[in-house]
Amino acid sequence: MKKVLLTLFPLVTVLLMVQGYHQAIYVAPDDAMQGYVFRIIYYHVPSASVAFLFFFISLIGSVGFLAFRRSSPNRAQIADAWALAGAEVGVVFCTVVLTTGPLWGRRAWGIWWTWDARLTTTLVLWLIYVSYLLLRRFAAGPQMQTLAAVLGIFGALDVPIVYMSNRWWRTQHPAPVFGGDQDSGMKDPTMVHALLWNMLAWFCWGLLVLFLRYQVERRHQEYAAIEAQEALEASA
Amino acid sequence: MSSTLWTHLAKDLRIEWRSKDAINSMLFFALLVVVLFSISFDPRGAFAQQIAGGVLCVATMFASVSALNQAWAREIRHQVMDAQRMAPTSGAELFLAKVLANFLFVSIVQIALAPVFLVMYNLRVAGQAGLLALVLPLGTWALVANGTFFAALAIRSRNRELLLPLILFPIFLPALLGMVQATTSILTGDSDPWLWIKMLTGYDIIFTTVSLLLFDVVFHAE
Amino acid sequence: MDERNILDHQFVVAAYTVTWVIQLGYLAFLGVKWRSEKRNAERKSRPAR
């Protein structure tokens, strides 16, 4: 049963991607105001949603690790694997958001970038989780996971603060706003459908990659545990 | 203040008073940053008023990092950290004492730097100057509290000195924004700084609380 | 008017291409990681002492 699912899911994901692409490029009409370039939204918005969801998953993993550290070490390791996978895949999707966004903005609103609440928060989120990944790479030893989990919590805590402070900044010093209410521009049901197809496709893709990353990390944890055990026995 | 807190604080202050390592390097670094910015941006007239807040904050950030980097280094040497861990006191008091000590050092640097700033940038305070005495400590506290905490996080990593600013600055960004906006609005008298003062206060309370709660986790993570 | 459309089209192509380069690049990176973990596991299960 599991094998069937494992081979079926990637296949379904690829099919959804093809359907999403078809919807985005051939079925959905040009936007009334932005024209052809509006189609970037079908990749940009789903990527943003997946990124935020995965950063949230990473936060849950970090909290779970700290909670289960002493009481249930195996569960803690699982939590830590989710924390890392969520962060890393989240950064990948967030990178997509930060590259497709300016490409869209340049053609649609004439500017590559602006320091409004949404963009600034996305950028800071990217910075925080890249720094999280750097900590995991540079910190040594068994306590690395604990330290990373703590940083993960701090980072997640910061995000709403960044968003609100930037909103206040922009009420005092108004600047161009990217996108405005892009959802309100979607009155055409064909466009909504195209977006939903791509949402589904990218969520499936994201889950697939997240799961793969999780599995790689679990394998790595087992290997590291065996290595530590051997080192312990060798020194005994 | 509990006696343990005072003991830790007195120790850090005494060590610093004897060597004056941190303060000297911070002062010089901050001064360098101010001069560098002046040469890069040529502050004149109204423009100087606009950027002075930002330059002061960035100078404080860079100067603080140089001090924070060796905030815990002293404790690592000669296994002082292990002794601290075995003591029956909570890690939170050690943490708070370090933050207070570093806060004092950075504030001294800021006060020393203020006349230099006023001179080099020809600053006139258009708004309520007294509020600066509220804004600067709030922003500095945010920097030092988070910085001391993250310095403890980075202590066992290979590139300790490099890692600290990398993990500190993204999280510090909203406090930087608040500090710069509040300072600029006080200097130029353009807008109301109270929104930012409230935001900074909220930021300080949230992150100091979380740091105190999680410090023991980090401290005993060996 | 026409150059505007061409540029729009190019930007859409660029955005979609960048997305797939990033996603597939990461997938390739994961593949390399998977292979190295598999090799580690084999090395551990058959200690060549």
A135 touches chain B (CB under 8 A): yes
- Beta-carbon separation of A37 and C37 below 8 A: no
pLDDT confidence of residue A176: 64
| Tokens matching residue B97 | 């004492």
Closest Cα in chain C, distance from residue A34 (Å) = 9
pLDDT at B154 (0 to 100): 83
- Residue B218, pLDDT > 90, answer no
In a domain, A5, yes or no: no
- The three-point CA angle B47-B48-B53 to 5° equals 115
* Coil, strand or helix at B157: strand
Preferred mutation among A25, A100, A210, A217 to probe C, highest tally of C CBs within 10 A: A100
Query: Is there a contact between A172 and B166 if contact means CB atoms under 8 Å apart?
Result: no
* Residue A118 domain boundaries: 12-177+184-235
Distance, in Å, from the CA atom of B8 to the CA atom of B48, rounded to the nearest integer, reads: 41
Q: What is the ipTM of this complex?
A: 0.89
Question: For chain A, how many structural domains are there in total?
Answer: 1
Our CA-based measurement puts residue A70 at a distance from the nearest CA of chain B, in whole angstroms, of 11
Question: Number of Cβ pairs closer than 8 Å across A and B?
Answer: 90
**A3 belongs to a structural domain:** no
Nearest to C37 among A100, A103, A219 (CB): A219
Q: Do chains B and C touch (3 or more CB pairs under 8 A)?
A: no
Shortest CA gap C20–chain A (Å)? 9
* Amino acid at position B21, single letter: D
Put simply, the answer to whether C11 touches A107 (Cβ < 8 Å) is yes
pLDDT of residue B82: 78
Distance separating alpha carbons of residues C40 and C43, to the nearest angstrom: 5
Q: Which of A107-116, B210-219, C6-15 has the highest mean pLDDT?
A: C6-15
Q: Which chains touch C (3 or more CB pairs under 8 A)?
A: A
Residue A186 pLDDT exceeds 80: no
Domain-located, residue A190:
yes
Higher pLDDT, B85 or A86: A86
User: What is the average pLDDT across B30-52?
Assistant: 85
| Predicted confidence (pLDDT) at residue C21 exceeds the cutoff of 90 | yes
Of A39, A96, A220, the CB nearest to C37: A220
Asked if pLDDT for residue B12 goes beyond 80, the answer is yes
Average pLDDT of chain B to the nearest whole number: 86
How would residue B45 be classed by pLDDT, with cut points 50, 70 and 90? confident
Interface test with A, best of B167, B197, B199 (most A CBs within 10 A): B167
**What does the pLDDT look like over B122-134, one tens digit per residue?**
888 877 888 888 9
In a domain, A4, yes or no: no
* Closest Cα in chain A to C7: A107
Using pLDDT thresholds of 50, 70 and 90, give the confidence band for residue C49. Answer: low
Across the interface, whether the CB atoms of B177 and A147 are under 8 A apart is answered no
**Mean pLDDT calculated for residue range C24-36:** 95
The strand pairing partners of B157, in sequence order, are A139
- pLDDT confidence of residue B1: 57
CB < 8 Å & 24+ apart, contacts of B85-89: B85/B219, B85/B220, B85/B222, B89/B4
**Mean pLDDT to the nearest integer, A187-197:** 88
Q: State the burial class of residue B125 (Cβ atoms within 10 Å of its Cβ: 0-12, 13-18, 19+).
A: middle
Chain B residue closest in CA terms to A165: B174
Residue B195, chain A, CB below 8 Å: the answer is: yes
Query: Does A1 fall in a domain?
Result: no
Which band of pLDDT confidence, cut at 50, 70 and 90, is reported for residue A194? very high
pLDDT digits (tens, 9 = 90+) for B154-194: 877 777 788 889 999 999 999 999 999 999 888 888 788 88
CB contact, 8 Å: A150 with chain B? yes
Q: Give the pLDDT of residue B120.
A: 83
Summarize the confidence of residues A32-46 as an average pLDDT. Answer: 90
- Cα distance from B216 to chain A (closest Cα, Å)? 11
Instruction: Read off the DSSP letter of residue B122.
Output: T
Question: Is the per-residue pLDDT at A106 higher than 60?
Answer: yes
Cross-chain CB nearest to A103 (options C4, C14, C38): C14
On the question of pLDDT at A86 being above 90, the answer is: yes
> Is A150–B222 a contact, with Cβ atoms under 8 angstroms apart?
no
Compute the nearest-CA separation of A67 from chain B (Å): 11
A2: in domain: no
